[in-house]
Amino acid sequence: MKDLTPNGIALRISVLVSVAITLLVFILEYLVSSVNYTLISLVFPVTFLASYVGFRIAVEKFIYKKIKVIYRTIHKLKLKKGEEEKEFSLTQIQTEVEDWDKLNKEEIERLKGLENYRREFVGNVSHELKTPIFNIQGYLLTLLEGGLEDPNINVKYLEKANKGVDRMISLIENLDEISKLESGAIEIKMEKLDIASVIKEVSASLEMSAKKNNISIVFVDEPNKPIWVKADAQGINQVLVNLIVNSLKYGVEDGETLIKLFDMHDNILIEVADNGQGIAPEHLPRLFERFYRTDKGRARETGGTGLGLSIVKHIIEAHNQTINVRSTEGVGSTFSFTLKKA
């Protein structure tokens, strides 16, 4: 019955009712007197017609009409412009209502996830700003209460306050950059770029930071010819800086940061690997989220804003490419991304 239209439902019920009434009349005629076949022949069409009209109206007005309102509400958004509604069966209604229910549940779950993310994001921003603000306030109050006249602490506290200001500026600039990347306000200027040359330049610029941590930056199998890719020079420079700086922060003393290039047919794969402390498996799925840190205390000590990897991900995705990470605790981590060959 569920595959039928109102007409089909009324038709089937009418046939059953008419057959039942005709058989009843036949039995009564047979029991009371001789069977009047003329009467019997009239009973079926009359009862069929009467029951069909009755059931058709009942189904249309009292049952189907109510279902149709629900169906139209769900279905009308799927109709193309100028397309008329067609006759439908109860199976179609059931299927579309189930699909609608499934989509609604998925949308509700998505909105719940966004709400949780919003709350977490606001809380993180508040915390990241609150920490340097309170530190700056403490240093300034100490100076105002007489510390300014003490040569042993005045310059020291001013430098610390300045460091807190720098941290806030860095945080705000990173947030602004992510916002622009997401909205498309930052234009990606694709050009022919020698990725090997960019890697050598970035490695050289971070050599002093590497020495402070007693870590060597090694360009493995450094090519003796240009490796051309299509990319935004400034964006890829920032990606490499963030990944290498990250490896220096979490690397081990006397360790190495290894940079490798791999030919992947239409793409070039770039890897930045370290032999540091590694990342626990439960952290990997959220590693590229804003403010997500595996070691919050150490990250703040080294001046991180928790936005570096999120920026990296946005830049790579703006190139229509992907970035991945694999890591083993106590062994190290490897970040890899691809760029289109020029």
Quick check: helix, strand or coil at residue 180? helix
Domains of the chain in start order, with CATH, are 6-88 (no CATH), 113-183 (1.10.287.130), 191-340 (3.30.565.10)
Strands 267-274, 256-264: pairing kind:
antiparallel
CA angle 254, 256, 257 (to 5 degrees): 145
Query: For 289-338, what is each residue's pLDDT tens digit?
Result: 877 777 655 444 555 667 888 889 989 998 999 999 999 888 899 999 99
Query: For 111-161, what is each residue's pLDDT tens digit?
Result: 887 777 677 667 777 777 788 888 888 888 888 888 888 888 888 888 888
Residue 247 has pLDDT above 80, yes or no: yes
Query: For 48-101, what is each residue's pLDDT tens digit?
Result: 788 777 777 776 666 666 666 666 666 665 545 555 555 555 566 667 777 777
CA angle 191, 218, 220 (to 5 degrees): 70
Quick check: helix, strand or coil at residue 86? coil
Does the model's pTM come out above 0.85? no
Closest CA to 273 of 228, 337, 201: 337
Structure-block tokens of residue 60: 């249309």
CA angle 210, 213, 218 (to 5 degrees): 40
